[in-house]
Chain A
Amino acid sequence: MKACFHCNDKCISNLICINEKVFCCEGCKMVYQLLEENQLNDYYQISENAGVTPSHYFKGKYTYLDNDEILHKLLSFNDSDIAVVQFDVPAIHCSSCIWLLERLSLLQKGIISSQVNFIKKTLSITYNSSQVRLSEVVVKIAAIGYEPIINLDMLKGKKEQINKTDTNRLGVAGFCFGNIMLLSLADYLGMDKNEFSMFYTVFNYLNFLLALPVFFYSAWPYFNSAYLGIKQHWLNIDVPISLGIFVLFIRSSYEIFSGIGTGYFDSLSGLVFFLLIGKYFQNKTYQHLSFERDYKSYFPMAVTVLSGKNEKQVTIDNLAKGHKILIRNGELIPADCILVKGKAIIDSSFVTGEVRSLKKNIGDTIYAGGKQIGGGIELEVLNDVSQSYLTQLWNNPAFQKNNDQSIRRVTDKISKYFTVIILCIAVFSGIYWMQFDTGKAIQVVSAILIVACPCALALSAPFALGNTLRILGDNKFYLKNTDVIEQISKITNIVFDKTGTLTISGKSAVSFIGKELNSAERSAVKSLCRDSNHPLSRIIYNAIDAELITLKNYKEVIGKGIVADSIRMGSSTFIQVKKIERIAQVHLEFEGIYMGYFKIESQKRKHLESTLSELKNMKLHLISGDNDAERTDMKAYFPAKDIHFEMQPSDKLNYIKILQSNGENIMMIGDGLNDAGALRKSDVGISISEDVNSFSPACDAILDASTFSKLPIFIKFTSMAMKVVYASFVISFMYNIGGMYFAIKGEMTPIFAAILMPISSITVVVFTNLTTNYIFKRLSR
């Protein structure tokens, strides 16, 4: 079998050749010819596996993009003739993609320039709107295999800009820290205050000036967060930090202006700098993944509306009751509808969990979210998109409230006691020194607050969890943020969806039940299925490995079965045998003799059994929207009372709610829109996906399906990572206690503070990184 020159897939059917090069399909050949004509052949030289098979599109699919209202919302810049637009292009995967997509100006007149962001998988195009329309630009990109994602969600308006202030804050703190250290060097080396009094004063005042931007600009988020915490009667970690920074600044300024010392500005700026680095490390997220998607990211932007004999592309927002719409093969049904014309076979596995595609008759209601398989159908819209049976799920209160406020991180829990203890120690030692010397008392109290500033403590969680996040990401388990790690470590119950989660969506296991077929018979069956477009025929065709032969007198009775020569295949009514309940089946007859039937089931994930048995220490549940044909099968993995079939999306959400009301911590693992409510409601919602760049509902983490079997390791790893956090808390406490000892005795000097602070931070950073890496290596062995 030869590999396609363009996409490198195996060429299964009739070979298509030009220029002695082999292609698997017409689409791939067209891309090659287009690139060849435009002398862009280097595309194939730059990296292997470059080509992407273009998806099928029909003429006029993108004409709605030329609508002024839509253009206004899509374009990020539009001035007279020049327009800029940005698309997500998930097909971007190698350097060839960058090479080609940045040469679009050679392929399409009117495109001025194009730029790829490989990490985010976005393509930004600048074009001359008087020479080329946006629809033409998109058709061109789609034609070379890089169809951009255009969905309803994009109509919300321009994407929010990423906050760059934090990077600036870090830069400013780093700049000031470095310069203050440089100016303090003379003091570190024991400069004689009297001999060089001129330098001494200048250095001190320069330090003060350099500390101002650190205090008022870089440290601002900590003050703000501390203030918000106190307002909510909660002493978070930022309270002692702010207190430390504040005391450092006041005391240093006082020392400098009264001429008694050099102050602690080096410690102050260093502290803020390290804290901001920790924050930066913790916030490093996966830019190409989205954890916040709802149905709007799954629905198309426009649909074909029929008025009389005219076809018109109408945006889904403007779709109203009574509209007649045309849905083509593979298109999504955007609203609840009634079938008016055509043969509807609806695959709604993603929306309901139901594996089998359902045949609908004229007059039947079809709910939003299903995909049409087969020819075009005409439908009449019953409800607005936002009122449909599926999208109403998003009106549930679970989607309204913001969960983030309720999360109490372990760091914040500890800091509550920490702050109280520090304040007590400061007050008592203040009272003690008061008896001897008031000046000394103030000095000691401020020294305690400075040295107790929990820099290392504040860095423990960001670095330990940030590194955990990175390790998990390297293993294709992508978490939304570091808070999720803490949530996972507390999990007691795991709730699974079936379709697409325990089974592989789009893959079927075919078994023949009846007499064993010989190779000639298998050839005949495969050849018979070749010409049929029925989904079950395609599945059987792909499942059988045999030579193709030519059959005569082929006839397809649509929706019933296929016949050629002496073979008959089809439904139970077509072959006239008894129907086997609740499974997808295709019966087979040779020369009037009944041979048996093909049983088509969804294919289970690899290592399913071993993975689930490794999770035995948790309570496992199964909730599925499918019928209960596989109940007995699933009893092997789940307790019988915790297996639930035929669950509606809202039932799933309520199931999680009931478990939570019993005080359980729930991890929900699902994949489809029907799990969206449960994923949102659960403590940790994990969305499993064959391709992490494709649509997945809003969740806390995205698990690449290929690493499903590592899930038990990941869960163990998160609880170990939390232990690392506790251990590094202990280490930073030791430093705090050590420093405190000198502070209470009144012996702390600026250089002592300037050394202690970075050493404690570096110890924590090194410790957390080494241990988390080591633990993961041990676990995955």
Chain B
Amino acid sequence: MAVLFLLIFLSLILATGFLFAFIWSVKSGQLDDDYTPSVRMLFENNINNTKNIKK
């Protein structure tokens, strides 16, 4: 049963990691715009590709 302590400890570490990931994502502005990225990902070629075609 003592292994439970280890598991609880690990799960809390993992969860804290996710909490900090969340705080980081808020801070870096990932939640500011929840619409544009969903449109942007549907465009076929990114800017670099278009540049290559031009050359």
Give the residue of B19, B39, B40 whose beta carbon is less than 8 angstroms from that of A172: B19
Docked complex Cα distance between A638 and B15 (Å)? 64
Q: Known contacts being A175-B15, A206-B12, is A117 close to B23, with CB within 8 Å?
A: no
Query: A486 within 8 Å of B by Cβ?
Result: no
* Contact residues in A for B39 (Cβ distance below 8 Å): 95, 98, 118
Query: B3 within 8 Å of A by Cβ?
Result: no
- CB within 8 Å of A: which of B18-51? 18-19, 22-23, 26-27, 31-36, 39-40, 42-44, 47, 50-51
**Chain A interface main SS type:** helix
- CB within 8 Å of B: which of A182-196? 183
- CB within 8 Å of B: which of A447-474? none
Q: Are A167 and B36 in contact (CB under 8 A)?
A: no
Q: Are B50 and A103 in contact (CB under 8 A)?
A: yes
Give the residue of B22, B34, B53 whose beta carbon is less than 8 angstroms from that of A171: B22
Give the residue of A42, A105, A168, A178 whose beta carbon is less than 8 angstroms from that of B47: A105
Q: Are B33 and A102 in contact (CB under 8 A)?
A: no
* Contact residues in A for B1 (Cβ distance below 8 Å): 199
Q: Are B35 and A118 in contact (CB under 8 A)?
A: yes
Q: Are A118 and B27 in contact (CB under 8 A)?
A: no
Give the residue of B15, B32, B44, B51 whose beta carbon is less than 8 angstroms from that of A179: B15
Number of interface residues of A (CB under 8 A): 30
Q: Are B31 and A167 in contact (CB under 8 A)?
A: yes
Interface flags for A76-114 (1: CB within 8 Å of B; 0: not) read: 000000000000000000010011001101100000010
How close is B8's CB to chain A, nearest CB, in angstroms?
7
Q: Are B26 and A202 in contact (CB under 8 A)?
A: no
Q: Are B36 and A171 in contact (CB under 8 A)?
A: no
Docked complex Cα distance between A46 and B39 (Å)? 11
Docked complex Cα distance between A103 and B46 (Å)? 9
* Contact residues in B for A162 (Cβ distance below 8 Å): 32
* Contact residues in A for B34 (Cβ distance below 8 Å): 119
Q: Are A106 and B50 in contact (CB under 8 A)?
A: yes
Query: A578 within 8 Å of B by Cβ?
Result: no
- CB within 8 Å of B: which of A317-364? none
A178 — nearest CB in chain B belongs to which residue?
B15
* Contact residues in A for B31 (Cβ distance below 8 Å): 167
* Contact residues in B for A118 (Cβ distance below 8 Å): 33, 35-36, 39
* Contact residues in A for B40 (Cβ distance below 8 Å): 98, 102
Q: Are B36 and A117 in contact (CB under 8 A)?
A: yes
- CB within 8 Å of B: which of A174-225? 175, 178-179, 183, 199, 202, 206
Q: Known contacts being A199-B4, A206-B8, is A39 close to B19, with CB within 8 Å?
A: no
Interface flags for A582-593 (1: CB within 8 Å of B; 0: not) read: 000000000000
Q: Are A103 and B47 in contact (CB under 8 A)?
A: yes
* Contact residues in B for A95 (Cβ distance below 8 Å): 39, 42
Best-buried of B12, B27, B39, B40 by chain A (most CB within 10 Å): B39
* Contact residues in B for A179 (Cβ distance below 8 Å): 12, 15
Q: Are A171 and B43 in contact (CB under 8 A)?
A: no
* Contact residues in A for B42 (Cβ distance below 8 Å): 95
Q: Are A119 and B43 in contact (CB under 8 A)?
A: no
Q: Are A164 and B27 in contact (CB under 8 A)?
A: yes
- CB within 8 Å of B: which of A110-136? 113, 115-120
B38 — nearest CB in chain A belongs to which residue?
A118
Q: Known contacts being A105-B47, A106-B50, A119-B35, is A171 close to B15, with CB within 8 Å?
A: no
* Contact residues in B for A120 (Cβ distance below 8 Å): 33
How close is A174's CB to chain B, nearest CB, in angstroms?
9
Docked complex Cα distance between A167 and B28 (Å)? 13
* Contact residues in B for A206 (Cβ distance below 8 Å): 8, 12
* Contact residues in B for A183 (Cβ distance below 8 Å): 8
Q: Are B33 and A171 in contact (CB under 8 A)?
A: no
* Contact residues in A for B23 (Cβ distance below 8 Å): 168, 171-172
* Contact residues in B for A102 (Cβ distance below 8 Å): 40, 47
Docked complex Cα distance between A113 and B35 (Å)? 19
Q: Known contacts being A99-B43, A106-B47, A164-B27, is A117 close to B33, with CB within 8 Å?
A: yes
How close is B32's CB to chain A, nearest CB, in angstroms?
7
Q: Are A106 and B54 in contact (CB under 8 A)?
A: yes
B43 — nearest CB in chain A belongs to which residue?
A99
* Contact residues in A for B47 (Cβ distance below 8 Å): 102-103, 105-106, 113
Those 8 A-B pairs whose CB atoms lie nearest each other, nearest first:
A118-B36, A175-B19, A117-B33, A171-B22, A95-B39, A167-B26, A118-B35, A119-B35
| Interface pairs (26), CB distance under 8 Å | A39-B50, A39-B53, A95-B42, A98-B36, A102-B40, A102-B47, A103-B47, A106-B47, A106-B50, A117-B32, A117-B33, A117-B36, A118-B39, A119-B33, A120-B33, A162-B32, A164-B26, A167-B31, A171-B19, A172-B19, A172-B23, A175-B15, A175-B16, A175-B19, A183-B8, A206-B12
B residues sitting closer than 8 Å to A (CB atoms) are: 1, 4-5, 8, 12, 15-16, 18-19, 22-23, 26-27, 31-36, 39-40, 42-44, 47, 50-51, 53-54
Q: A99-B43, A103-B47 are in contact. List 5 more A-B contacts (CB 8 A).
A: A42-B44, A119-B36, A168-B26, A175-B19, A202-B5
